Every structure is written in structure tokens, then in C-alpha cells.
A = this chain, B = another copy of it.
């Protein structure tokens, strides 16, 4: 059974892909807003996992919509969730099983129970989140055992996180992204396997 997994190149989605690969034929899927964006480090991360990677383009209007939603809301949660759901819906057309690296402790992106049910019903897919039942310390332990990971703040690490392009868009709209993403959170990039 094939499974399409959302992949940023970071620790969580890589660990999720490794765990799913024990039961499924995993294909990695990375979304970008800008087709010109360099994805070399994500391509390298996928190669180190020895899994096929598809780089996909979000619909044109989505970046503007996400940035405007963040500026309107004053915080990014709802827009990040919307973008993540858009990615899941997009790959739901190509697979019977779709997955991601959502963890128990994540607040965003995190689909609620009803959204999950709606997604699965509407697209006739199974949505699997192998890390959902794991807390941060266990994920770090398992990731450290299986993966070689490079860490840095948003902007320093070239993974496929949605946040980087959304920040740029907010800046292009004349706002400071730091107003909306108050904490620079630690980003990770898989650079090898143990």
C-alpha cells in the first residue's frame, strides 16, 4: 500500500516517514509557494532517507490568502492550519493513505477530530499520523537514534517549512513578520541517517 507523506525535510516529518515506511510504500511530498525556491536541502534529505520525493506547487492565491489571514488574525495558527489542510487535500487525490509528522504536543498544524473525519470522508483516504501518540522527548529520542539532524532558527535552516515563504510575503505586504510569529522556533533539517 502506497502512502503519501507531507515532508519538510525536518525531524518530525522525516521520523514519521521512517515509521510509516515499515508498513507502507512511502512517497514524500513537499509543497512550495514559489516554483523558483531552491529545494536542494529537502531533496538531499529525501535522498538520505532513500525515499522518492515529489515537489508540488501550492495554488497561486494561497500565499496571499495565508499572509492576509495572519495579518487579520494577529497570529498565524489558523492560516498555518489552512495551508496544511490544503496540502493534505492536494495529495489526497493521489493516494489512498496520506500522512504527516503531527505530534501530540503540536498546536499547529493540528487538525481537529471533525476536520480529520471530513478529510477522510470527502477524499476516501486514510489519514495517518504516526507521531500523534508520542510526546516530544520520545520523538527526540527516536529521531536521534535514526536520523542525523541539523538545527537552527527559522531562516537559517533550509527546510521546506511553510513559515519562511509566509514570512517573506507578510514583509512584502509592509508588515513585520515578527509581530505575528513572536517566537523564532527551532527548525530542523535531516542531513543523514544513522
Report yes or no: A120 in contact with B133, Cβ–Cβ below 8 A.
no
Q: What's the minimum C-beta distance from A103 to chain B, rounded to whole angstroms?
A: 9
Report yes or no: B135 in contact with A133, Cβ–Cβ below 8 A.
no
> Which stretch in A80-88, A121-129, A148-156, A176-184 binds the other chain?
A121-129
Q: Which residue of B lies closest to A120 (CB)?
A: B135
Residue A131 at the chain B interface, CB threshold 8 Å: yes
**Most chain B CB within a 10 A radius of its CB, from A97, A131, A135, A138:** A138
* For the complex of A and B, 3 pairs with smallest distance between CB atoms: A129-B133, A132-B133, A126-B138
Report yes or no: A135 in contact with B127, Cβ–Cβ below 8 A.
yes
Residue A159 at the chain B interface, CB threshold 8 Å: no
Q: Which residue of B lies closest to A117 (CB)?
A: B135
Give complex CA distance A137, B130 in Å: 15
Q: What's the minimum C-beta distance from A101 to chain B, rounded to whole angstroms?
A: 10
Report yes or no: B132 in contact with A104, Cβ–Cβ below 8 A.
yes
Which A149-189 residues have a C-beta within 8 angstroms of B? none
Residue A60 at the chain B interface, CB threshold 8 Å: no
Report yes or no: B130 in contact with A130, Cβ–Cβ below 8 A.
yes
Contacts of A61 in B (CB 8 A): none
Produce 1/0 per residue, A1-35, CB < 8 A to B.
Answer: 10000000000000000010011000000000000
Q: What's the minimum C-beta distance from A140 to chain B, rounded to whole angstroms?
A: 10
23 A-B pairs, CB-CB below 8 angstroms? A1-B141, A19-B22, A22-B22, A23-B142, A97-B138, A102-B133, A120-B135, A126-B134, A126-B135, A127-B135, A128-B133, A128-B134, A128-B135, A128-B138, A129-B132, A129-B133, A129-B134, A130-B130, A130-B133, A130-B134, A131-B133, A132-B132, A132-B133
Contacts of A23 in B (CB 8 A): 142, 145
Contacts of A104 in B (CB 8 A): 116, 132
